[in-house]
Structure 1
């Protein structure tokens, strides 16, 4: 849903800030296998095409880094974004905070709103996103109530400040595991593609012949024994390292720079 209208010639300077979701994990770019693509990169390409059809063009930066909590996103990343003088900023964060046992949802919402106010005062339009619904997700389904409360706060912030919102919570396609990668925490290429289309729609555009929430054919059934083996492999390969990093205070993004620190044309 959008509480804003696209500029006549489209946006000119789009900056994305956030965590692993906006960095693009696990949407592998076939042209650059060492780097993820992701929904924000895909959205930037669509916005550039829309701008060019109207005589404009778009430059794009992506400052998101995996593992980052909201403090960093609305701190260093936001400061960097404002230095680039964008006219559109997507800000998606808080997911890593919500997983912490003592997460203060009210404080997180206040942090996010303060960031939105700074962006709106700078003249930039803002794109937000609700969390996905983790009802059937391993581990994080235990904090489904927190996800729902944070989603409600995002809608309230958007209404107060005229933002667009990607309604991931309401996307049925994202409840299908075929939209997710093997780690069950990050979307695969199809999931990122669908979110990019949903973002494009939320910003007031109409994708041609594309429905971000188009239904799939029924998923093939999996024998219980195979599902058990899949779960055991997932716990060993993905869950154990993830838990280990949190117990030791480490992040998968430690030492990583943003993948697109400067405004350049989308690829």
Structure 2
């Protein structure tokens, strides 16, 4: 484990807390056995931390579609109260895609969040945003993304944070690193991101880039078909939600809202299965108790 990672607090506790939006929640890396139906790079990092050094605990407060203000209001204080020794933060990407965003105001709020998290004494990991080449529709937002990345780099240096410079990772030029919505990483993309984070923290792992054949050039007809499917499946629903003022994260809870001890061998999937089984048993017990009470109450009625 690298020296820049704070192994444990004064009580010997090792705790990783992840904050943010869909990037950190794990959207694009589907796994129906895990909370919210996704896995993602943060889960993988937590599991590798536990294998390298037993005793790590992990909480993931990230929820898809959250803006920076939501991360501040809903995640910041909870994360600080957990006493983390490692924090990851990516937030602000959804704000960049919102019309009317004041970038100076956004980055001032981002710095206040970074300052609060850095003050915990935990190792803090920050990320730049990637220049996703999905459509000419998003090109006007490139200037905002560039400004965001410049400020994140400056703040990482100012607050002594570890910086994962997503913008510079050439592997993401391959479209197979992206999910079908073209905005979130695929399973391969999340694995690669986990490897990047672990490399920056000096943690051993066996993640390796996909050894793909060069992507085949699409025929015009196939390209047009994919474009229509993408617009119908993702772009139109996205703008529809914006018009209605709703997001995909409105009804979701954080995937790991409280710190859990990461099993060194079984991983988080087994932990999720045990939690689901325990919840099912509790629900069954409550139902049995309610039925018993109903019979008892029914028997005493005149």
Whole-angstrom distance in 2 between the partners of 1:92 and 1:33: 20
CA displacement 1:20-44 (0-9 Å, x = unmatched): 1111001112644862001111111
Give secondary structure in 1 for the equivalent of 2:66. coil
Q: How does 1:107-146 map onto structure 2 within 5 Å?
A: 107-134=105-132, 136-138=133-135, 139-146=137-144
CA displacement 1:14-63 (0-9 Å, x = unmatched): 111111111100111264486200111111111112223xxxx2000001
Q: CA deviation at 1:101?
A: 2.0
CA displacement 1:193-243 (0-9 Å, x = unmatched): 0011111112233545x456x774311111011100110011011111001
Whole-angstrom distance in 2 between the partners of 1:49 and 1:109: 36
Query: Residue 51 of structure 1: which of 50, 53, 72 is its match?
Result: 53
Q: List gaps (5 residues or longer) in structure 1.
A: none
Tell me how many residue pairs correspond in the alignment: 258
Whole-angstrom distance in 2 between the partners of 1:110 and 1:33: 33
Contact 2:36 2:255 in 1 (8 A): no
Who is 1:14 aligned against? Answer: 16
Give secondary structure in 2 for the equivalent of 1:173. helix
Q: List gaps (5 residues or longer) in structure 2.
A: 263-267, 269-302
Contact 2:4 2:123 in 1 (8 A): no
Who is 1:87 aligned against? Answer: 85
Contact 1:132 1:169 in 2 (8 A): yes
Who is 1:166 aligned against? Answer: 164
Who is 1:68 aligned against? Answer: 66
Whole-angstrom distance in 1 between the partners of 2:28 and 2:236: 18
Change (3 A) 1:119 1:32: closer
Whole-angstrom distance in 2 between the partners of 1:205 and 1:45: 11
Give secondary structure in 2 for the equivalent of 1:169. helix
Matching of residue 217 in structure 1 with residue 213 in structure 2: yes
Whole-angstrom distance in 2 between the partners of 1:11 and 1:28: 31
Change (3 A) 1:141 1:11: farther
Q: More displaced, 78-87 or 139-148?
A: 139-148
Give secondary structure in 1 for the equivalent of 2:16. strand
Whole-angstrom distance in 2 between the partners of 1:255 and 1:82: 24
Contact 2:103 2:144 in 1 (8 A): yes
- TM-score of the two chains, using structure 1 as the length reference: 0.90
Contact 1:14 1:87 in 2 (8 A): yes
Whole-angstrom distance in 2 between the partners of 1:261 and 1:33: 10
Change (3 A) 1:72 1:218: same
Change (3 A) 1:74 1:204: farther
- TM-score of the two chains, using structure 2 as the length reference: 0.80
Whole-angstrom distance in 1 between the partners of 2:156 and 2:27: 26
CA displacement 1:174-210 (0-9 Å, x = unmatched): 12110011111111100000011111112233545x4
Larger Rg: 2
CA RMSD of aligned residues (A): 2.1
